[in-house]
């Protein structure tokens, strides 16, 4: 049985749980809590208010991202900003080619090292232009840009009280208030 088949079986048997294959490893994440959902909703509302949903781009949750790091590798980011023609980029297993992803965002949960280490190299290798991490435990917002190889050359960490401007490459100019994002 392939890792993809095992991952799909896990998600079928455990609704709400997430199974991903990154660097040839099966990663399982439990059902998210209300604080996690609140952070995602705040971001989704902010991105939609900024005009990023429904025109040239869409703001989506839990969309499969096919990764170039292994034969079966894929991730399911919490939130993404993608080109509106995402359906033209379907690879397999409900995962889409990295070329249509403008931003990938993760809100940390109990396995925060996955978001802060493992996914950084995978998303950089996929040349995702902007990777945002909402670190609820450390109360920080990480913005990673300029992927080269399997790393991002620009990694900025922002604290509560700061307002962060995201690169216009996501589709428009959007600023995030770190306090607003971290509340919930």
Hey, where are the domains in the chain? 32-182
Q: What value does the CA radius of gyration of the chain take, rounded to a whole number of Å? A: 15
Point out the least confidently predicted range of 9-13, 106-110, 122-126, 170-174.
Answer: 106-110
Query: Which string of DSSP letters, residue by residue, matches 21-42?
Result: EETTEEEEEPPP-HHHHHHHHH
Residues 6+ apart with CB under 8 A from 20: 7, 26, 27, 29, 74, 75, 76
pTM confidence score: 0.94
Q: Which CATH class is domain 32-182?
A: alpha beta
Q: Mean pLDDT over residues 51-68, rounded?
A: 95
What is the structure's pLDDT at 111? 78
Output the 3-class SS for 67-125. Answer: CCCCCCCEECCCEEEEECCHHHHEEECCEECHHHEEEEEEECCCCHHHHHHHHHHHHHH
């Amino acid at each position: 049985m392939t890792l993809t088949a095992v991952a799909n079986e896990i998600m079928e048997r455990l609704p709400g749980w997430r199974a991903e294959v990154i660097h040839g490893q099966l990663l399982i994440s439990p059902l998210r809590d209300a604080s996690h959902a609140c952070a995602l909703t705040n971001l989704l509302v902010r991105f939609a208010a900024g005009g990023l949903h429904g025109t040239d781009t869409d703001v989506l949750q839990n969309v499969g991202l096919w990764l170039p790091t292994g034969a079966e590798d894929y991730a399911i980011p919490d939130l993404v900003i993608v080109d509106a023609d995402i359906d033209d980029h379907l690879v397999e297993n409900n995962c889409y080619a990295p070329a249509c992803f403008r931003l990938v965002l993760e809100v940390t949960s109990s396995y925060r090292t996955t978001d802060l280490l493992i996914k950084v190299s995978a998303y950089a290798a996929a040349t995702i232009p902007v990777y945002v991490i909402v670190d609820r435990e450390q109360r920080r917002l990480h913005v990673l840009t300029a992927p080269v190889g399997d790393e991002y050359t620009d990694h900025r960490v922002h604290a509560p009280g700061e307002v962060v401007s995201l690169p216009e490459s996501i589709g428009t100019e959007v600023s995030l208030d770190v306090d607003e994002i971290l509340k919930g």
